[in-house]
Amino acid sequence: MASFPKTRLRRTRSHDWSRRLVRESALTPDDLIWTMVVSGTADPTEPVAAMPGVERLSVAEAAKAAKRARDLGIPAIAIFPHIDPALKDADGTEALNPDGLVPRAIKAMKDAAPEVGIICDVALDPFTDHGHDGVFEGGRILNDETVEKLVAQALVQAEAGCDVIAPSDMMDGRIGAIRGALDAGGFADTMIMSYAAKYASGFYGPYRSAIGSAALQGDKKTYQMDPANAEEALREVGMDIDEGADFVMVKPGIAYLDIVARVKDAFGVPTYAFQVSGEYAMIMAAAQNGWIDGDRVMMESLACFKRAGADGVLTYFAPKAAELLNG
């Protein structure tokens, strides 16, 4: 081990050029996945109260945003639907509508900017009147019945031109079932990004109002992971890779960087982190109060995902961060 005074680690920190030379990781627009809320209402944009700077976008505005992503060098957009409450039911039937909001958004965005990858969430919660991600019966979420619906939802998305199917539901066995159905349906090239280690987290709070999900009956602890667990995350990720996931994700982000690092170390596969709505809201709220420098903390937080080993970050900050990175 190097020792003082022969070694002074401050030496290489003393100039901008030497700091750049010893920098171990870098953030570029290529690392950003823009998380975007789309809405079927007539208004082109609607503000999201708990997420200053984030707006729900109409399909036409989402198509414009796809062009903006292309121009900013952002490789992909992950879309999340705000569904009209009148279309919600216990089974989340609207999730399977081939002319629904998500398929319409996919088509419009791919038409506008075919170079930008489109990632779609697979889960029933935006479409159910109980707010759960799956089939809810007798106070329980039924696993295998849910997987059947998720498979159908994924096929609707693939048919509409979605590039990456992203199951966020945490049912057991859904990656294998979706991979099999995509292959059998002629979608062998459609990719899967698994929300592999997704925790039952309070950090999702603002998202529920962003997509207008129904008031949740109970909680999601019987399917999303316990924040106390790490070994279990490695098992979840390992199983999803085995079932055919092309990309794996850890969610939430900043408080779970140990999981990101361990997943990347253990498997070496393309690994992503989701900087979720509550993380965005916390940074923005403190910035708006003048308590932190918002741009600085945004860039620092994104850079930390890269240092931890993430290959990219799903973030509501994507357009703003890309603008700063592009100078």
User: Is 317 a residue that touches ligand PBG (CB under 6 A)?
Assistant: no
- Joined together, the tokens standing for residue 144 give 């295998």
Q: Which residue numbers are catalytic?
A: 198, 251
Residue among 117, 115, 197, 185 at smallest CA distance from 153 = 185
Question: What gap in Å lies between CA 230 and CA 228, rounded to an integer?
Answer: 7
Residues 249-288 that bind ligand PBG (CB under 6 A): 276-277
Instruction: Choose one: 16-24, 36-44, 53-61, 117-125; the region binding ligand PBG (CB under 6 A).
Output: 117-125
Site string for ligand PBG, 186-225 (x = CB under 6 A): ------------------x--x------------x-----
Contact criterion met (CB below 8 Å) for 193 and 164: yes
Q: Does 61 bind ligand PBG (CB under 6 A)?
A: no
Q: Decide: is 109 part of the binding site for ligand PBG (CB under 6 A).
A: no
Cis bond leading into 5, ω under 30°? yes
Q: Spell out the residues 6+ positions from residue 173 whose beta carbon is closer than 8 angstroms to its own.
A: 143, 144, 147, 243
CA dist 258 and 272 (Å) reads 13
Which 3 state secondary structure label does DSSP give 135?
Answer: strand
Q: Judged by CB under 6 A, which stretch of 82-90, 120-128, 178-186, 260-268 contacts ligand PBG?
A: 120-128
Residues in contact with ligand PBG, total (CB under 6 A)?
A: 11
Cβ 123 to ligand PBG, closest distance in Å? 4
Query: Any contact of residue 128 with ligand PBG (CB under 6 A)?
Result: no
Crossing angle of helices 231-243 and 257-267, in 10° steps, is 50
Q: What are phi and psi of 190, to 5 degrees?
A: -75, 130
Identify which range of 63-71, 118-126, 156-164, 318-326 contacts ligand PBG by CB under 6 A.
118-126
Among 121, 163, 240, 243, binds ligand PBG (CB under 6 A): 121
